[in-house]
Amino acid sequence: MTAPPGTTEGTEAMSELVTGNVTIGDLYRELVGMRSDLTRVLAHQEATDLLHRNAEQISADHEARLRMLERFRYTLMGVAIVVGAGSGYIGYLLGHVR
């Protein structure tokens, strides 16, 4: 936001910002610091992405195991029903056929 012409508010703000001379060395050191910060942030982001991908893979494996267990359970229940009905029929035949 700029101050209206004729006021000293804008110039006071500028003088507060400029407190000394900025050299090329200062800019270079700041640039090197920013580059190292960026490298560190990118490494952290890559590690986070890798953990996220691993978590998705583990979740997919877990879901596949759950589906396999459910399929086994329902297959076992189906076999139990068939065997129970078959043994009931055999028992009926043995009891009535003499």
Residue 8 within any structural domain of the chain: no
Range of the domain at 50: 19-96
Residue 85 within any structural domain of the chain: yes
Low-confidence ranges of the chain (pLDDT < 50): 1, 13-14, 17
Residue 86 within any structural domain of the chain: yes
User: What pLDDT does 40 receive?
Assistant: 92
Number of domains in the chain: 1
- pTM flag (> 0.85): no
Residue 14 within any structural domain of the chain: no
Residue 64 within any structural domain of the chain: yes
Question: Looking at 23-73, which runs of residues are DSSP E strands?
Answer: none
Residue 4 within any structural domain of the chain: no
Residue 57 within any structural domain of the chain: yes
